[in-house]
Amino acid sequence: MTASISSFAKDQTIRLADVRKSYGDYDVLKGIDATVARGEVVVICGPSGSGKSTLIRTVNRLEEINSGSIFFEGQDVHAQMSGRELNRLRSRIGFVFQSFNLFPHLSAVDNVAMSPIRVKGVAPAEAHEKALKLLDRVGLREKANSYPGQLSGGQQQRVAIARALAMEPPVMLFDEPTSALDPEMVGEVLNVMKSLAAEGMTMMCVTHEMGFARDVADRIWFIDAGQIIETATPEEFFKNPRHPRAQRFLADLRH
């Protein structure tokens, strides 16, 4: 492990090396090689079924992989490790789900404060104070005592982002964070993500929001059939996509 840290370029937060995964005969990921630098915002896009969500779920090991490795700050995420080590590792990778997955039995502030208290052992009063600050940051201070069932989809997703941020992760992963939202609520969630990016958060986002990709992403990974077939800056990608599959994807989006 010491060797892997020293050989690891300092500015790389996440490195994927020949990541492969299959469900039975079906290959979902066919050798993904990529890196995410510190402070970089990467948007992963591609047609449905291309493996985007599976890929992002392997980064915090919600999905296992068949071969290859994924390094997070120099640590091999998929190496043999104790449950406790894996939990500690996961607590440092913020994850936002398509379906929010807020805990419906807890109020917004308790959703945000619970894991710092139960996982990191933060004092409840301190965790609450911080939770309220985070809710303020996503514009939901006044909803602190509401339950998820009383919040709109956009509000729920913003609470979910605050919940992930409460663990103070150096990196945030977003798995189609706006896909389950009504169109008029997409903006409020994207704005929170934009402000995060502006503050220098390292982010990996699977999204279909091409406006967000164009404005916020440092790089775009275009995935098709389990492979990254194009990596480009948004400018290059939207103006002049090289791969025919990407050209077709963008053409379809414009319709």
CB of 150 to other proteins, least distance (A): 6
User: Among residues 114, 180, 225, 229, which is the contact residue for other proteins, using CB under 8 A?
Assistant: 114
User: Among residues 107, 155, 156, 157, which is the contact residue for other proteins, using CB under 8 A?
Assistant: 107
Residue 126 φ/ψ, nearest 5 degrees:
-65, -45
- For 78-102, give the DSSP string: TS---HHHHHHHHHTEEEE-TT---
CB of 251 to other proteins, least distance (A): 34
Indicate if the alpha-carbon torsion angle 156, 159, 164, 169 is positive or negative: positive
Using an 8 Å Cβ cutoff, are 249 and 47 in contact? yes
CB of 60 to other proteins, least distance (A): 6
Q: Contact between 88 and other proteins (CB under 8 A)? A: yes
Between 46 and 169, whose beta carbon lies closer to other proteins?
A: 169
User: Among residues 45, 55, 93, 213, which is the contact residue for other proteins, using CB under 8 A?
Assistant: 93
Q: Contact between 49 and other proteins (CB under 8 A)? A: no
Q: Contact between 81 and other proteins (CB under 8 A)? A: no
* CB proximity list for 70: less than 8 A, separation 6 or greater: 14, 15, 16, 17, 19, 58, 59, 76, 77, 78
Spatial strand order of the sheet with 171-175 comes to 93-96, 171-175, 202-206, 41-45, 219-224, 227-232
Q: Contact between 64 and other proteins (CB under 8 A)? A: no
Q: 54: how many CB neighbours lie within 10 A of its CB?
A: 21
CB of 148 to other proteins, least distance (A): 11
Residue 145 φ/ψ, nearest 5 degrees:
-100, 5
Structure tokens at 61: 């090991």
**Which string of x and - marks every residue 154-193 that binds other proteins (by CB under 8 A)?**
---------xx--x--------------------------
- What is the contact surface with other proteins in residues (CB under 8 A)? 60, 62, 83-84, 87-88, 90-93, 95, 97, 99, 101-107, 109-110, 113-115, 118-120, 124-125, 128-129, 132, 144-145, 147, 149-150, 163-164, 167
